[in-house]
Amino acid sequence: MDSTASLRQRIYEMLMESQYWPPEQMLAYQRSQLAQLLHHARATVPFYKTRLDPVFKKNGDIDWNRWQEIPIVTRADLRDKREQMLTTALPPGHGPTKTFHSSGSSGVPVSIEVTSLASSANLAATMRQFAYHGIKANKTRARLVDVNEKGEYFEESFYFRDSPFSKDSSLREARDVAINRGLPDLSKLQVLKQLGVGHLYTNSNAAELLARANLELGEGVRLDTIFCTGQQLTTDQKVLFKQSFGARGNIIYSSKEGGVMGFECGKGPNFHVNSELVLLETVTLDGSDCEIGEVGRVVITPLYGTALPLIRYDQGDTAAFFPLSGCGNNLPILGSIMGRQDQLFKLPDGPRSITGVGINFMIANLNALAFQLAQTAPLEVEVRYVPIGSALETTEPIIAHLRKVIHPEMAVTFKPMARIPLNAGGKLQRYVCEIAR
């Protein structure tokens, strides 16, 4: 086992113990890590030279009572001031670094610099998640991606990524594959079958499209687990994944900026926060802490983010903390997460989430592989869908359903399409609001 694998194993062993720490022990650990990060950022990162002054006492100690006085970092800051946010000197043992590119699902593409230490910590957290859910790690992984490690679009159907798992003698079967997201779904399925993929990483809507295409095949692809990121995973989608692939659906709370921030709790739809890797806050509009159960903005500080520190970074999501679930794990519970992908419709009586739309109902009545609801005017919605066979015989049940769920006066039109376009982040958004903001 090389030094990287050994480091990952040591972090993993700590995580397996720390998930049972009492809250006061976890807080002490976080503050110890945060103090090191704050001193490092203030000394070596131009962006933070004076930005952290509110929390520093004259003797160099940290005044934790003034933590919320640190200004929140925005995604636009990361895009426009990235060079100022890079460290001029890494702490010993944290390097080397690697750049990860975001394709800009929110319209603001960014590039993140991640240390080898941070990568090891994220992999260790992934291993803890596998252990928690009883998932075998030594299976080939596949990710649907738009760009390669250099941030460039690639032409090939797939390529093998340079994975740390390939250097670990106990996990050498766990090859890491990048599959071109632009391939037709049937081609993606062929690659999954050809390479014997066990674990697929993608967003839940893209996985749903693959699952429905797989059902159309006769000899379908079999998978062990579908790990969904970036979007909510519904109960219906979990049932579909089991029916189509024989796979369990498992959701991860992660981002390019924050790394692996949380994993699905075994008791319900919420997440355990990886508090050893990230300080995660939920804050109100005025910047104060939310109460338990109160939804607020997600603000993160990755504790291993020494190459490009993100101290109090606006993740772009909203969420709420909830009481522990009783599963035995003491890591905080986070739920009610809505991300950049979850657009609201703008109705005459105010904004509204339309997650009450029946996905299976829509698919069955449209006889479609996929659909998207696009609000084109305050009381107008266009149903875009990819038909499986002949034209719709009737639209009345769909119109009645949408008027019941969204608004009784909603005008509904229908538009068959060969393929529903993905957004800038490579995700199929089920609901889009196209009214000018």
Residues of the chain below pLDDT 50? 1, 104-107, 341-342
What CATH number is given to the structural domain containing 409?
A: 3.30.300.30
Give yes or no: residues 318 and 354 share one domain. no
User: Which pLDDT score, from 0 to 100, does residue 19 have?
Assistant: 97
What's the pLDDT tens digit per position in 63-81?
999 999 999 999 889 989 9
Give yes or no: residues 317 and 359 share one domain. no
* C-beta of residue 254 within 8 angstroms of C-beta of residue 322: no
* Tokens 């393929």, located at residue: 419
User: Which pLDDT score, from 0 to 100, does residue 76 have?
Assistant: 87
Give yes or no: residues 309 and 422 share one domain. no
Domain ranges, residue 362: 345-433
User: Which pLDDT score, from 0 to 100, does residue 347 have?
Assistant: 87
Give yes or no: residues 47 and 89 share one domain. yes
Nearest to 90 by CA among 123, 115, 112: 115
- Cis peptide upstream of residue 96 (ω within 30 degrees of 0): yes
Give yes or no: residues 369 and 232 share one domain. no
Give Cα separations from 164 to 122, 287, 341 (angstroms).
Answer: 12, 39, 30
- Look at the chain and report how many structural domains it folds into: 2
Give yes or no: residues 191 and 263 share one domain. yes
User: Which pLDDT score, from 0 to 100, does residue 271 have?
Assistant: 94
CA distance 214 to 34: 46
Give yes or no: residues 36 and 59 share one domain. yes
The residue among 338, 360, 380 that closes a domain is: 338
Give yes or no: residues 129 and 21 share one domain. yes
Tokens of 224: 């062990």
Give 169-174's long-range contacts (Cβ < 8 A, gap of 24+).
169/1, 170/1, 170/138, 171/137, 171/138, 172/138, 173/138, 173/139, 173/140, 174/137, 174/138, 174/139, 174/140, 174/141
Give yes or no: residues 264 and 131 share one domain. yes
Give yes or no: residues 384 and 415 share one domain. yes
* Tokens 């059902």, located at residue: 215
The residue among 338, 354, 381 that closes a domain is: 338
What CATH number is given to the structural domain containing 160?
A: 3.40.50.12780
The residue among 338, 364, 398 that closes a domain is: 338
Give yes or no: residues 318 and 367 share one domain. no
Beta pairing class for 296-302 and 97-101: unpaired
User: Which pLDDT score, from 0 to 100, does residue 404 have?
Assistant: 85
Give yes or no: residues 177 and 132 share one domain. yes
